[in-house]
Each structure stands twice: as structure tokens, then as C-alpha cells.
Amino acid sequence: METISTAHPLLPALFECRNKTETICRPLKTEDYVVQPIEYVSPPKWHLGHTTWFFEHFILKEHLPDYRDFHDQYAYIFNSYYEAAGDRIIRTQRGNLSRPTVQEIYDYRAYVDKYLRKLMHSSAVSERVAYLIEIGINHEQQHQELLYYDIKYILGHNPLMPAYSASVDFPGSPPGSGWIEIPAGVNWIGYNGSDFCYDNELAYHQTYTQSFSIRDSMITNGEYLEFIESGGYQHVALWHSPGWTWIQENKISSPLYWHQIDGIWNIYTFNGIVEIDLNLPVQHLSYYEAAAFMAWKGWRLPTEQEWEVAADHFGWGELWEWTESAYLPYPGYEKEEGALGEYNGKFMVNQKVLRGASFVTSEGHSRKTYRNFFHPEDRWQFAGIRPVKDQ
């Protein structure tokens, strides 16, 4: 009797994710796939290859009998930072790869997808494999958001400032009504559930916060423009010492993608360059700029503990929100074994936590316990700021 294969329940989510990555790239021209204008921006074709290598290396090679690599050198090209997974090309060289071609990378994706389907229709999907598939989906969703960051940087630093797609636009939020008072107390934070989360969201634990007030809306372009016009970028007392050095060395005097044209402030968006809407939340700020603005206003950024305690009282998810917290392990944090243990733990130094999500975060990828993290000078991510006042 013929054996009827039943697909694993994760199959639809897996290929919805895989297809979305390619949908994000669809508006690009072939030449756009290869560009790496700065070290931390990866070429779009590298993201396509890396997310595919992740499934190949961590799942297919280990759990699908007789699987054969698509290409024996792709691991060297598409490994990102997993030391335990072998040698890799240095990050600054990703934009120097004219080969493999864009078409060859799409062929690679199709090849790996074929074997992922085979795996998902087999009896080899153990609990461990299902867990790895879920990590792979969430990993690719992270790269989908990074693709948006990198595509905007690539096109936004082209002198032509071409539009990417009118279908991807910052929605904006209605004005808030004021400040929310949060009483002092002991609260539980961290992930506490049965669905997927990253290891850095664990363990669920108690934290004490003093009383504070947090605004129910984020800082707007208009508010930030007041900071610029007041000379905020020239007042050394407002800045952290490395932040002051950073703006001096890089000649920074406004948020990323802001351009003054004939005396009018404009901003580069996915739909090209447009006049700034003063009522929209300001975005593409570094932590240094966020902290300087708060010092100018006499406010401060929330800690990540305060943000999570207050998050149910305001709308969030349009922009990542800088916090004052250093990216450190929670009490009871346990790092994953093997190469996947390099996913979060090794980055818990010299970075700041951002909370929430952004309008380009993949659907189903956000939760209030999610701990994003970036260096204080980073600002190509979609990040804004929400103020706090001590009571």
C-alpha cells in the first residue's frame, strides 16, 4: 500500500516567510542587489543567500539524509558570524561579490526550498527539527526587516534618490493625549508563554521600578526640528562624550535621510524624497541623538524594564524605541548549545536595547518582550523615541 505523506503544520508558515523575502526584493533592479555602500549594510542578494544557507546548514545537512550542498563554497560566502559553523568572508567584502549572480542565488533558494518541502513531508520532522524550523522562520523575518533597512540605505544614498515602492510607507500615528503615570512597584517581565521566543527574552523574572510618567505618543519631526533649530547639535553639554565625538567626526547635524533643499526640510522615503511631515514621529535617530534630545527637553529615555511594564498602556509598533538600557543577559539566562548559541549571547556588550517593533517588522514577529539591540551610533534602522519623566 502506498504511504501517504502528511505535511508538517509549520509548512505554510515556512513558505509564506520564504516567499515574502523574495517579494521584498521584487521592486529592485539587478544592480541594486549587489551594492554595499557601508560596512553594516549588506547587499540584498547576500540576505537572500544567507537566509537560505541558514536552513541548509542548520537543518537540511543535519536532518535530511543524503542531502547534498547546492555549492561547496556557499557556506564561506553566506555564513554571517557563526564561528562554530566554519570560516566566512569578512563582512566588508560582501559587496565585492559579482558572483554568484542574482539568478544563481535564486536558483539556490529554489534548490533548498525543494528539499525543505521534502523534509516537511517526511517523518524526519522531530520536535528538535520543528524548533529549528521555527528559529529559521524567525531568523529570516529578522532579515526581511534588515532588507528594508539596507534597501532604503542603498537607494537613499544614491544621488538620484530613486523610489523603492509606493506600497511601503510609514503610516504615522494619531496624536497622543498626554502622559501615563506608572506607580512604583514590583512587576514581572520577560517572556512567559509556550510560543516561540528568543533566548534573550528569558528568564521571566521580577523587577522593581520607581514611579514614572511615560508619554503615550512618540517625539515628532516638529519637536525634533525645534531641537535642531535651537542649536542642539552644537551644544556639547547635551551629548555623551562618544556621541559628541561621533557627530563631530561624521559632520552630523540632522537625522538620517533629512535634507534641506531651498531652505525646506525634506526626507528620503521608500516613495522618494518628500517634504517632512512635522506631525509624524521622528525616525532614524541614533541613541546618541535620542539621549541628547531628552537632555535638551529635561526628560529621559525609559529603561527597557519601564517600557515593558508600561507597554500595555500605549500603542507601539510603528518604530523601534530606544531605551536607556544596556543589552545584558536577564537573571537566569541560558545560552543555546552549539553554533546557535552565538545568536544572541555573544552580542551582550556595548549595545543598547530597543523595544517594540516597526512598520516593516514582519507580521507575527513582534511582542512586547522582544529585545532588539543596536550600537549607540546606529540609525539606519527604523527607530524613534518616547520620553519619560520621573515623578
pLDDT tens-digit readout, 172-182: 776 777 999 99
pLDDT of residue 5: 52
Report the chain's C-alpha Rg in angstroms.
Answer: 22
Closest by alpha carbon to 379, among 344, 354, 348? 354
pLDDT band, very low/low/confident/very high, at 3 (cuts 50, 70, 90)? very low
Residue 2 banded pLDDT, cuts 50, 70, 90: very low
Distance spanning both ends of the chain, measured CA to CA: 73
Contact 198, 344 (CB under 8 A): yes
Domain spans of the chain, in order of start: 11-156, 179-390
To 5 degrees, how large is the angle CA 60–CA 66–CA 68?
A: 65
Closest by CA to 23, choosing from 162, 157, 141, 196, is 141
pLDDT (average), residues 364-385: 97
Q: Residue 1: pLDDT band by 50, 70, 90 thresholds?
A: very low
At 270-324, the pLDDT tens digits run 999 999 999 999 999 999 999 999 999 999 999 999 999 999 999 999 999 999 9
Asked if 378 contacts 351 with a C-beta cutoff of 8 angstroms, the reply is no
In percent, how much of the chain has pLDDT > 70? 98
Q: Does domain 179-390 have CATH number 3.90.1580.10?
A: yes
| pLDDT surpasses 80 at 84 | no
pLDDT in tens, 332-354: 998 877 767 767 778 889 999 99
Q: Residue 373 gets which letter from DSSP?
A: E
For residue 4, pLDDT over 70 is answered with no
**Helix, strand, coil share (%) of the chain residues, nearest 5:** 40, 15, 45
pLDDT at 177: 74
- Scan for cell 559632520, then name that residue: 251
Quick one: angle between helices 287-297 and 241-250, nearest 10? 120
Give 49-77 pLDDT, tens digit per residue.
999 999 999 999 999 998 999 999 999 99
Cβ proximity of 98 and 73 under 8 Å = no
Domain boundaries 11-156, CATH class: mainly alpha
Distance CA 211, CA 61 (A): 52
Q: Given this model, what pLDDT does residue 86 score?
A: 81
Mean pLDDT of the region 79-85: 80
